[in-house]
Amino acid sequence: MNYRYLKVKSRIYKQLGPIVRRTYNIISDIGMLTNKDKESSEFNSFGDGSLISFPPGTVFGKSAISIGKDTMIGPFVTLSAGMMPNQKLIFERIVKIGDRCMIGRGSHIIGHFHIEIDDDVITGPYVYITDQNHGYTDIDTPIWKQNPVDKGVYIGKGTWLGTQAIILPGTYIGKNVVVAAGAVVSGEVPDYSVVAGSPARIVKTFDSEKGWVKP
């Protein structure tokens, strides 16, 4: 390739690069959704000081999604209530995110029945939380044609979900729990526990007399 062409290209890139980056930052700031924006009124509730970063992921069923105060939802986060946009929902509120939460980049919160994320919960990027699974009991019917199974999810106050953790339907996670990166969680997790693995298992819990102990 012509050396002169490469030199000119490099000079142009150096000049345009800062402009592109500044423009992207400006667009991200302008596109951020807060409770000061008219669109926030489409949600069941949208607390003071909360924001959804730009660009968002897929967001629908807003009327059944509640966001508390001072909560930050990262870019590319999918928030959904129901199976599809404009679906008539059977519950007034399906997804509830509490106060002072941080939902990491690229995470998915997919609610059909009931998902509650209590106050002060933080997640790493690309966490997946859902309250619905495919049905598979009829072995003669394709799985996608079978009725789904809905079971509510609760994530307790002060909990941390590591990068790419998966929270399955019917999961109850207690207070101040650590979920390790990549863990696949179902069932009940007691307060003050650390869980890891697929399927997730308790690797340590806090005892008021003994401190942190392994099971």
| Beta pairing, strands 160-161 & 178-179 | parallel
Which pLDDT band, with edges at 50, 70 and 90, does 21 fall under?
very high
Using a pLDDT cut of 90, give the percent of the chain over it: 77
Alpha helix (H) residue ranges in the chain: 3-31
Does the pLDDT of residue 214 top 70, yes or no? yes
Domain match, 72 and 155 both: yes
Q: Which domain holds residue 1?
A: 1-31
Domain match, 24 and 114 both? no
Q: Tens digits of per-residue pLDDT, 155-167?
A: 999 999 999 999 9
What pLDDT digit, counting tens, does each position of 119-160 carry? 999 999 999 999 999 989 999 999 998 988 999 999 999 999
Mean pLDDT, the chain, as a whole number? 93
Q: What CATH number is given to the structural domain containing 187?
A: 2.160.10.10
Q: Are 169 and 148 within 8 A, CB to CB?
A: no
Asked if residue 179 and residue 87 are part of one domain, the reply reads yes
Same domain for 22 and 53? Answer: no
Q: Are residues 6 and 103 in the same domain?
A: no
Asked if the peptide bond before residue 142 counts as cis, ω within 30 degrees of 0, the response is no
Angstrom distance (rounded) from CA 51 to CA 44: 15
Q: How far apart are CA 52 and CA 35, in angstroms?
A: 10
**What is the value of pTM for the model shown?**
0.90
Q: Are residues 112 and 151 in the same domain?
A: yes
108 is catalytic: no
Q: Is the N-terminal amide bond of 199 cis, ω within 30° of 0?
A: yes
State how far the Cα of 31 lies from the Cα of 27, in Å rounded to an integer: 6
Instruction: Pick the catalytic residue from 108, 112, 114, 134.
Output: 114
**Whether 165 and 198 share a structural domain:** yes
| Region for 154 from its dihedrals, namely left if φ exceeds 0, alpha if ψ lies in -120 to 50, beta otherwise | beta
Regarding whether 170 and 104 lie in a shared domain, the answer is yes
Total count of domains within the chain: 2
88 and 188 housed in the same domain: yes
Q: How far apart are CA 52 and CA 162, in angstroms?
A: 20
Question: Are 60 and 4 members of one domain?
Answer: no
